[in-house]
Structure 1
């Protein structure tokens, strides 16, 4: 064979290899995430970063929440509810297996629900299971759950990440080696770098289009921008560099989708620690914050002001921002009435997210205007969880609560706000026992008003979902009804 044909053949082979590699790449996806999860078991940790990797991908529950916030069947293919609203009978899918080959059946459901509500449970959302009275195995594919009283949120609650079904054989090792029933199985975790999941060939349901998904951990906003522009990351479902959004909106290679989340961003205050045990001090803090300046400065205009702990997109939302409107003169007056005419010194612990670090600087500057000197203490996410969330060792902090339908956190014992209100707790009990939509709306609005008046935290803004990804990527969520990167419908356009 002459040199020309050898060269042509080699070139053709190179093109073929290149095309094959390109096609293969279209079944893989690299996603950027800001926070590294402390572990990968959503039934044993409160960090939303856990669910952002494993929810609907690796683990599944009886029900699931979709991109619109609707409740859909998952491991339960159907269910019936008794006339009194207390007995739920779930019919399970057959021929379902966990990733280690263990068969899934009704015993796994009973184990998971009983484990979550046990006295020794470490489930981060234990109140979700408080309504359960008994869990009975009717047959291998049927489970009957009896509630203590009707609960209008029960099916929704069973769709949370904390309610996924796990197997007794692997439950204790799910933190480092998660084994679920989902369409993806866990592959590797390079700590500080990335987590890789791959398609589960034995999946019981509709197969996913992706062969592999890599969650690349990139906490730095500048690095996130560079990674997207270079193609090292093809999607950032929650992009952290708000100031760079216009750059990507002008670039046809990318799709920019600004949606909403369940993330109520608050300035948390330790209600049992002086001076924050004084209502007037907490009210003074709230009136010292200019939400527009905060949103413009920390979020580059992306975000919706809130005056209570409720998402503006919810039908029961009422605008209570006037209750804590920006009024530094009123703040000083309230501080004087509380016995702090010259202000006081305090600390502000800030976790890594941009909204917290940048927002904290703005808020600290505004607090100085009313005589409150807040020392900024940056902490890593694991430190925040240990010191603030678990240890309640803090004065003030900033965080977005991205769990869905989580108004009831203000009714929990020993929650990190240290807020106690019998009136609020009673309203939450009524909400949980009510199925009527109109009545629930009335109760939700009553609860919002109580929180706005009690000011257990300073309500700041609703966190936006700034999604940026390759224009050829389809199926990622526009909004964030729950903290998740559900990849079950994600694919590359032809």
Structure 2
């Protein structure tokens, strides 16, 4: 262990320029390693030293021609990459999963967690040369809070009762009630800070404080960026140019990275991982986080307003079969809550919604429904979504339930199917905290309540619990509140959370990155363009 620690220390000295390559090799030889090993160790250490330059080409399996450059409406990984390339948030989740300041140099609560103070970094400039001020933060948040706002983050910021600037670089938020997780909320990708003029932001300008400046933007097709020469963040955004491509077809995407047409391909289907891992020029990146695949049933569309029908469908699914056949083991079965053991206050004793054809048939008989039930799916939702829908239809048939799988076009899926049709396939990248996840997709005030779970006694109680837990500082009481919220959502809600899926990507071995890779989103937190470099 002492030898390994010594070599690691020498490697750090090499990468920081304290010693040269020859000195490192001599030091390694002194520990007893062979010359080839010492040379290899030197090469690995040097590869971990970030270098600037090159054109980074990335392909993702999401994107639609209905996308917009407006961060408020970003709804897939293509849009999230665009957002994170051009802008920054007040806070961010680091590569190691910790919440750290980004545009905010520091943040702290007031006397209670209903007041939060954010101190902005001095000297930060937008791409147009404007200096970042507290007024920009306030105008940005108001853009999402507005009465007519269609922002997906409206539910997240609705808890803000007022904001005020205390000088140019200090913002004070007053919340409707205490929220210990509020600093996490402002790291949401919709909430990048935009430049303001007279208290108004132009969300379509493409201007931000980020490491890359938008050159061209074609919704759902491609986006090209050039490095921001005045980027405030040191040791980040190493590429001279970044090219983002939307390639929805999985085979085309994997061929692109294998042929060298792109350097990085996200959303690799599990069934191709074994094959691609044998390609000598490619590495497979696998990270495990909170990503989950769902089949939301909208309660405002018949017959999904029927409690017994929802329960019948929940018990008619062979979840482990989905993990085995769709994820090929790269994940775990879901349990109809968007929470797993990686998140705080997860209830490990929540009853399992395992395949039970007898119970499913019993609930289905109580529902009084007859005839086929339509389930819309496209692989734009997630790789293998159509096949997953077919497996659900097959298992439901064993319970006497007829499911008709509707194959939808991939382009426009998120605008024309999701959040509109009664039952469809969907994916969620998940969130670091329960409050954030619930506020994004399950509370009454969010635009992305894709189950339209409103109007039931359980949903009303759930919304009360989310507010209460948000303000609760006693850990035991907060755990009890979240346990009850999980139970209500699992039992009465419209979400079928079928499986949690690992993030899978393939990239050229010419790329390098730190040992720590973020798991809060795909592709190193959707920030590979900022965190990676060419070795």
Question: How high is the TM-score relative to the length of structure 1?
Answer: 0.87
Aligned to 1:121: 149
Aligned to 1:453: 491
Give the direction of change, closer, same or farther, for the CA distance of 1:329–1:218 in structure 2 (3 Å limit): same
CA distance in 2, matches of 1:315, 1:45: 26
Pick aligned residue for 1:398 from 425, 439, 451: 425
> What displacement does 1:337 show?
2.4
Pick aligned residue for 1:359 from 388, 391, 395: 388
CA distance in 2, matches of 1:48, 1:227: 18
1:464 aligns with 2:496: no
1:1-400 aligned within 5 A:
27-36=54-63, 38-55=67-84, 57-169=85-197, 174-175=203-204, 177-191=205-219, 193-206=221-234, 207-236=236-265, 238-307=266-335, 308-319=337-348, 322-340=351-369, 343-351=370-378, 352=380, 353-380=382-409, 383-390=412-419, 392=420, 394-400=421-427
CA distance in 1, matches of 2:275, 2:179: 47
Give secondary structure in 1 for the equivalent of 2:118.
strand
Give the direction of change, closer, same or farther, for the CA distance of 1:105–1:382 in structure 2 (3 Å limit): farther
Identify which range, 359-368 or 316-325, moves more after superposition.
Answer: 316-325
Unaligned runs of 5+ in 2: 1-50
> What displacement does 1:381 show?
5.5
Give the direction of change, closer, same or farther, for the CA distance of 1:472–1:320 in structure 2 (3 Å limit): farther
CA distance in 2, matches of 1:445, 1:361: 32
Aligned to 1:6: none
CA distance in 1, matches of 2:194, 2:512: 30
Aligned to 1:480: 519
* Aligned residues of 2:195 and 2:201 also touching (Cα < 8 A): no
Give secondary structure in 1 for the equivalent of 2:73.
coil
Give the direction of change, closer, same or farther, for the CA distance of 1:335–1:382 in structure 2 (3 Å limit): same
Give the direction of change, closer, same or farther, for the CA distance of 1:338–1:258 in structure 2 (3 Å limit): same
CA distance in 1, matches of 2:416, 2:219: 22
Equivalences, count: 463
Pick aligned residue for 1:439 from 467, 477, 481: 477
Give secondary structure in 1 for the equivalent of 2:402.
strand
> What displacement does 1:380 show?
4.1
Pick aligned residue for 2:443 from 389, 407, 411: 411
What's the CA shift string for 1:416-473, capped at 9, x where partnerless? 3121311211111112212444433332222112222224222201121012212232
* Aligned residues of 1:258 and 1:478 also touching (Cα < 8 A): no
CA distance in 1, matches of 2:293, 2:496: 9
What's the CA shift string for 1:178-198, capped at 9, x where partnerless? 110011111113455421112
* Aligned residues of 1:67 and 1:479 also touching (Cα < 8 A): yes
CA distance in 2, matches of 1:374, 1:173: 45
CA distance in 2, matches of 1:321, 1:461: 15
What's the CA shift string for 1:125-166, capped at 9, x where partnerless? 112112212111111122222222211111000111122111
CA distance in 2, matches of 1:141, 1:381: 44
CA distance in 2, matches of 1:273, 1:267: 14
Aligned to 1:11: none
Give secondary structure in 2 for the equivalent of 1:469.
strand
Identify which range, 304-313 or 476-485, moves more after superposition.
Answer: 476-485
Give secondary structure in 2 for the equivalent of 1:262.
coil
Give the direction of change, closer, same or farther, for the CA distance of 1:438–1:29 in structure 2 (3 Å limit): farther
> What displacement does 1:290 show?
0.5
* Aligned residues of 1:65 and 1:159 also touching (Cα < 8 A): yes
> What displacement does 1:479 show?
4.4
* Aligned residues of 1:43 and 1:163 also touching (Cα < 8 A): yes
CA distance in 2, matches of 1:467, 1:270: 32
> What displacement does 1:348 show?
1.3
Give secondary structure in 2 for the equivalent of 1:152.
coil
Question: How high is the TM-score relative to the length of structure 2?
Answer: 0.80
Give the direction of change, closer, same or farther, for the CA distance of 1:403–1:325 in structure 2 (3 Å limit): closer
CA distance in 2, matches of 1:52, 1:201: 19
* Aligned residues of 2:94 and 2:518 also touching (Cα < 8 A): no
Give secondary structure in 2 for the equivalent of 1:324.
coil
Aligned to 2:39: none
Give secondary structure in 1 for the equivalent of 2:268.
coil
Pick aligned residue for 1:425 from 463, 476, 485: 463
Aligned to 1:12: none
